[in-house]
Amino acid sequence: MAEIVSLADAVGGLVRDGDTVALEGFTHLIPFAAGHEIIRQRRRDLTLVRMTPDVIYDQLIGMGCARRLVFSWGGNPGVGSLHRLRDAVENGWPRPLELEEHSHAGMANRYVAGASGLPFAVLRGYVGTDLAGQTATIRPIECPFTGEVLTAVPALTPDVGIVHAQRADRAGNVQLWGITGVQKEAVLAAKRSLVTVEEIVDELTPVPDAVVLPGWALTYVAVARNGSHPSYTHGYSTRDNDFYVAWDDISRDRDRFAAWMESHVL
Amino acid sequence: MAEIVSLADAVGGLVRDGDTVALEGFTHLIPFAAGHEIIRQRRRDLTLVRMTPDVIYDQLIGMGCARRLVFSWGGNPGVGSLHRLRDAVENGWPRPLELEEHSHAGMANRYVAGASGLPFAVLRGYVGTDLAGQTATIRPIECPFTGEVLTAVPALTPDVGIVHAQRADRAGNVQLWGITGVQKEAVLAAKRSLVTVEEIVDELTPVPDAVVLPGWALTYVAVARNGSHPSYTHGYSTRDNDFYVAWDDISRDRDRFAAWMESHVL
Amino acid sequence: MSYSPDEMMCVAASRALRDRAVCFVGIGLPSTAANLARRTHAPHLVLIYESGTLGAKPGTLPLSIGDGILADTADSVVSVPEVFNYWLQPGRVDVGFLGAAQIDRYANINTTMIGGDYQHPKVRLPGAGGAPEIAASCREVVVIVRQNRRAFVERVDFVTSVGFGSGPGDRERLGLRGAGPRTVITDLGILEADPATCELTLTHRHPGVDPDAARSATGWDLRVAHDVRTTPPPTPEELAVLRKLQQT
Amino acid sequence: MSYSPDEMMCVAASRALRDRAVCFVGIGLPSTAANLARRTHAPHLVLIYESGTLGAKPGTLPLSIGDGILADTADSVVSVPEVFNYWLQPGRVDVGFLGAAQIDRYANINTTMIGGDYQHPKVRLPGAGGAPEIAASCREVVVIVRQNRRAFVERVDFVTSVGFGSGPGDRERLGLRGAGPRTVITDLGILEADPATCELTLTHRHPGVDPDAARSATGWDLRVAHDVRTTPPPTPEELAVLRKLQQT
């Protein structure tokens, strides 16, 4: 049964040093406010999981929260590199970052396996690529009926799964729509979960193509107005493309990055 | 690209003697009209696939269309037995019927594997049951990461998948809502497909919880008004529960069954 | 207020559901009992039907597992693969509610066939449906079945859904993660799996039922708890709500 | 009407898409080319973005793979697991459109890292995204990439997505079901995989481009088809539509 609490209490109650944490949202509905709260609470040694690390993971990595990154595409969409991610990988700053690298299809299926209570998923993927040689969590598996060899990837079961959504009702049932990505799977795969929402409403009137996450399957719901900025919340805000472009400059330099985080997040 | 044709032409163009055919619809949206057309076209030696055979398969079996049944629950929901199915299994009338029997979870995952282009699916299921000893399409599989033993079932890839839906647009895009069951998977798993619809409309206005099947992924769309009777079409008709009850009597006796089919279907 | 044995059974089953539990419900008696609970002591009971309706709140009793009223009143309607894979399989469901054609000493359940052999059964039953995985994966399972010697047999003719197998340790050996069918509610009383032996044991008799009547309605030497209790009879409220439900 | 090499590249890429094809589109040049095609010769082109939008018909160019306009105009919005599992993996997509940081003689694609080794790369690139499975499963693949010696290398530093491996027969041996990246469209011309050798071969040069310029922009000894043709220049309509698209 989801408890509706403040963002600070939710993150404080959920995320511990050393945890594996997944913040999902595929371009849309990225839970920036929750990520910033993790930074403010100065969590350390996190294993961060996310298909597309995006700017929020650049910030978490640059602030030294992460020990390891499990991902499939680490760029600034439409802009270029994530400079804090690159600095950590290329130069170990502010600390070295281990990578566990997959493809989108592999990551999506790893969440599906986690949400399904299975230890692994099967897909047609990775065959012939150099990823298969670098990533220990990619193995062959044989079909017991046809003998065909496919690829297995292990389930993702983060300690904490965090997503952002449009709204929740007072019982903690959550409704999200637009591009819903892999959010249902990320929440259901996680041991504990938090959904930040734009607002709490009396009733979740049906919306086409909406996903509903029942309150009884969640740990916490917290209001975080505009909590996806500079990503967006379909029907509530638009993507701040200028910020994504500006981030390229802000993040390129270590000091400028630190100053920006100091004045905007901490 | 779906072609919009008459029901007779669609079934004539799709279903051949000896084919494996899946007509899906979970209580809701059962494609009775299409099933009746298969009976009228006197197809033979079909392998019929369906999670819940229901009255439509009782009719197909009683009319001698089927050689084999792949299923997980073969009853008249809320009423009792399917007498034509039982007569075929217990007495070989009008011809013997081979059974390939699964659980719902197994059948659902077999469709998922088919829709996903995978040769098999993995689930926690069947362990310790007598089904595992009777059904050759249930095998153990070991997780390549944890060593845990789970259950594998092979993909269902019917020659023909048939479902009923509320409506389609003129490009053959199909929209269905209410309880949508395993219909998307059944269509996508099949080599060729038919969707019967209540009506063709100019535009598919969005509906909450609706599934849209793009026309380019379908073979045929055919109008079959009230095509799910005595099942129902959410928003168009209600379930004819009295008919399901009446079927118990109609189907109990071979001659009465044959007479009923003669006057109502042929 | 007089009541029938079936009414007592249904009321006893509804009482087995605590408020806010997540309940995977089959059609028929389980659905009636769950909806009775939701209208009496468990208003926040979460009903999941295998047709994919999560949090259904039907105003009248659905007649089939896929009634429109389930979709209309659900918090969410998901696909059948999703209901089994994302909701049942990982153990998110507190209570699975099952019926049975046969049930045995160790609460194994048969809904497949009776007599003869699998290829040539005397009676062909509907089969497994969702039951094997409900019995495997729900945190606990409650079985509702009328008690008589046809249904309560020493050993089921076919294990459709595993209860406690051949006794203690079998569920663990098979890797079944839920606690299994610890509670069987009948028209005569309540049987519970003995924590040590896993054997179904009569722990409650319904008012006016002699434990010997339950024993003679059972195809094995049914054990009776030494402190067998009497089920409290249906309250007037329970009966009124149940009858109103069944009228619709 | 004058035009830039990038405009020529984009127009050439749009022409590679036949009407009614189902196209899996990445953001950037692939998306621009696909939307140009939809507005010119291929009005029924079906666009799938990996964010889960099937049949998106954006009025303006999306700036990210998950723009709201894609959801608003799609025939259907599905989950990310579904777009990969039900739509891409089974081979339902006719054309996959990919970019590349490096591409080699056999059309293998690198978007992972350059220089050093995997643990200590000189340049860390974004990584795989959806590309490996797009390259594996689409019926055919079109690559759009500017031609220069940094990008066109004898052997990619990291095989993120498999083209033709080390040559003929490799895709079959690996069990890859699509035909692979048979077409590479650049700002200088069009390269196609030789049907016999799988080697990328210059088959078209864009107007005003000398094949030798293409050869010196390539890090291997680029073969030029003996009947190399000249790409027809962008039509005024193509240019007008493209520029209008890019304004928005």
Query: What is residue D200's three-state secondary structure?
Result: strand
**Least CB–CB distance from A208: residue in B119, B124, B210:** B210
- B146 and A120 within 8 Å at the Cβ level: the answer is yes
Instruction: Tell me the residue type at B59.
Output: Q
pLDDT value, residue B78:
84
The whole-angstrom distance between C84's CA and the closest CA on chain A is 8
Model pLDDT for residues D208-240, shown as the tens digit of each residue: 999 999 999 999 999 999 999 999 999 999 999
**CB-based burial label for A128 (10 Å; 0-12, 13-18, 19+):** buried
pLDDT confidence bin for C248, thresholds 50/70/90 = low
**CB-based burial label for A147 (10 Å; 0-12, 13-18, 19+):** exposed
- B115 and D85 within 8 Å at the Cβ level: the answer is yes
pLDDT value, residue D125:
94
Model pLDDT for residues B135-153, shown as the tens digit of each residue: 999 999 999 999 999 999 9
User: Chain B: residue nearest A150 by CA?
Assistant: B118
The whole-angstrom distance between C76's CA and the closest CA on chain A is 6
Within an 8 Å CB–CB cutoff, is residue D115 touching chain A? no
The count of CB pairs under 8 A between chains A and B is 67
Residues of C in contact with A204 (CB under 8 A): 75
Model pLDDT for residues D189-199, shown as the tens digit of each residue: 999 999 999 99
Return the closest-CA partner of residue D228 out of D248, D213, D243: D213
Residue C1 scores a pLDDT above 80: no
Residues of A in contact with D246 (CB under 8 A): none
Question: CA D214 to CA D228: how far, in whole Å?
Answer: 12
The whole-angstrom distance between A245's CA and the closest CA on chain B is 34
- B181 and C127 within 8 Å at the Cβ level: the answer is no
Segment holding B68, helix H or strand E: strand B66-71
Question: CA D84 to CA D30: how far, in whole Å?
Answer: 18
**Below-70 pLDDT ranges, chain D:** 248
Residues of A with CB under 8 A from a CB of C: 1, 115-118, 173, 184-185, 188, 204, 211-212, 214, 216-217
pTM as predicted: 0.98
Within an 8 Å CB–CB cutoff, is residue D91 touching chain A? no
Within an 8 Å CB–CB cutoff, is residue C28 touching chain B? yes
pLDDT value, residue D69:
86
**Cβ-Cβ contacts under 8 Å for B12 (sequence gap 6 or more):** B41
- A144 and B207 within 8 Å at the Cβ level: the answer is no
User: Chain A: residue nearest B177 by CA?
Assistant: A208
Model pLDDT for residues B142-187, shown as the tens digit of each residue: 999 999 999 999 999 999 999 999 999 999 999 999 999 999 999 9
User: Chain A: residue nearest C81 by CA?
Assistant: A116
User: Which CATH number covers residue D31?
Assistant: 3.40.1080.10
**Cβ-Cβ contacts under 8 Å for B264 (sequence gap 6 or more):** none
Within an 8 Å CB–CB cutoff, is residue B124 touching chain A? yes
pLDDT value, residue D248:
64
Average pLDDT, chain B: 97
Supply the residues of D annotated as catalytic.
50
Other Cβ atoms less than 10 A from the Cβ of D93: the count is 24
Within an 8 Å CB–CB cutoff, is residue B122 touching chain A? yes
Q: Are B244 and B76 in contact, with CB atoms under 8 Å apart?
A: yes
Tell me which of C50, C133, C192, C238 is the catalytic residue: C50
pLDDT value, residue A190:
98
Q: What is the DSSP string of C42-91?
A: -TTPEEEETTTEES---SS--SSTT-HHHHHH-SEE--HHHIIIIIITTT
**Least CB–CB distance from A217: residue in C20, C92, C137:** C92
pLDDT value, residue D124:
92
User: Chain B: residue nearest C71 by CA?
Assistant: B178
Q: Which chains touch D (3 or more CB pairs under 8 A)?
A: A, B
Average pLDDT, chain D: 95
Model pLDDT for residues A13-50, shown as the tens digit of each residue: 999 999 999 999 999 999 999 999 999 999 999 999 99
- B122 and A118 within 8 Å at the Cβ level: the answer is yes
pLDDT value, residue D66:
79
Sheet holding B139-142, edge to edge: B120-123, B149-154, B139-142
Return the closest-CA partner of residue A51 out of A79, A17, A28, A83: A28
Give the count of domains, chain D.
Answer: 1
Mean pLDDT to the nearest integer, C176-204: 97
Mean pLDDT to the nearest integer, A244-258: 97
pLDDT confidence bin for B101, thresholds 50/70/90 = very high
What range defines the domain where residue D77 resides?
5-247
Question: CA B159 to CA D4: how far, in whole Å?
Answer: 50
Average pLDDT, chain C: 95
Residue B50 scores a pLDDT above 90: yes
Mean pLDDT to the nearest integer, A218-237: 97
Test the D interface: residue of B188, B193, B209, B211 with most D CBs within 10 Å: B188
Q: Are D32 and D246 in contact, with CB atoms under 8 Å apart?
A: yes
Q: Which chains touch B (3 or more CB pairs under 8 A)?
A: A, C, D
ipTM metric: 0.97
